Amino acid sequence: MTPRTSRQPQMPRLTTADLVNDSMLGVKLGLLAGGHAASERLVTHPRVQKTGLALVGHGYGVVPTRVQILGETEISFLATLPDEKKHEAMRFFYGLGLSCVIVTGNNRPHVSVIEEADKLGVPVYLSESRSSRTINAIHALLDERLAPRASLHGVLVDIFTVGVLILGKSGIGKSECALELIMRGHRLVADDVVHCDWRPPGLVFGVPDSRLAHHLEIRGLGILDVKEIFGITSTRERKRIDLVVRLVEWNEEEEYERLGIDDEYHRLLEVPIREVTVPVRPARDLGAILEIAARNELLRRRGVNTSKDFIERLRTSRRPGVGGEAPAHIPVPVPSYLDVTTHEVAWDTNEREESGPLSGESHAWVMRGGVGPKGSK
């Protein structure tokens, strides 16, 4: 099944001036040249680049919008060149249209590095730290500032450490469901507007809008301050999204998943996140259902897939000559709606009809209102 997709991500805009002046940058940078162009040069790539061969005239592979690093190796190579070659090498290098260059190790470079940068308007900075520390600090900041982002309408709740994103049309009961979960001891992350951002190696985190943080809107009651009512442990500022729950209105004519064999996914910031659809109608305890969904997600992380294990047990128990086959006089309780053809289970339908319902059979298998799985009658 094709995953549902949220709106296209928003790509942040970051200039060289924004980068070097950011208070979260873990290294100190001093301007050497080209400062007048810093507010115009964009940085669009979250990883730096060490130039290497570009200093000998090979510019293939250089990405201008990445932060370029001149480390000890590059500076020591420049020192071996005659002055005229130094200027020639830097003219070629800066002529690639670079966003900015950072010289590491707190070693002031040759005058050619500064003069050619001023001529071509390329910002050049000097880092007091070595290349490794400078690169790590820049990567950490760029991961934060250049992370793809998207905002969507929904509610994000932390249930047993599982980040559950509740989606559904307005008025279906997302906030009321979140309130029930909070009363059960779980934590609210965001209500109404969830800001999502991507993090390597392919994780999506959700945060609340700064104006709506730790607040919940309940129709009939108005705006509630969850932190004030339930205490500081009832909210959190940020959570990874592990599961999407889509609430839909119960429709007698609609076919809903009954076995949980086929997984559906919601694609958020190009990351597929497992999605379950929960029909809503009076008397259904959505708080309990979402708790079970979170517990089941924890089981799946451990490699336990209850639905598939159940089908496999049925397949094994009915296979001739396989150990564990049920004796003929003890009928195996199987859901009456199980599509044995689809799931390749060899099952004699007459045996189920003749045996009749077992006294201990779970009511979970009883069909109500004619609603069954896909293909059932």
The answer to whether the bond into 46 is cis (omega within 30° of 0) is no
Let me know: does 93 contact 74? Beta carbons within 8 Å: no
Token representation of residue 99: 């966003």
CA distance 125 to 43: 15
CA distance 135 to 68: 10
Four-residue CA torsion sign, 39, 44, 50, 51: negative
Please tell me whether residue 291 adopts helix, strand or coil conformation.
Answer: helix
Q: How far is CA 22 from CA 132, 196, 252, in A?
A: 19, 22, 56
Identity of residue 303: G
DSSP state of 3: P
DSSP string spanning 178-207?
Answer: HHHHHHTT-EEEEEEEEEEEEETTTEEEEE
Place of tokens 């820049």: 138
Name 7's Cβ contacts closer than 8 Å, sequence gap at least 6.
150, 152
Let me know: does 127 contact 25? Beta carbons within 8 Å: no
DSSP string spanning 104-126?
Answer: -TT----HHHHHHHHHHT--EEE
Catalytic machinery residues: 153, 174, 192, 258
150 phi and psi angles, rounded to 5 deg: -155, 150
Burial class (CB in 10 A: 0-12, 13-18, 19+), 102: buried
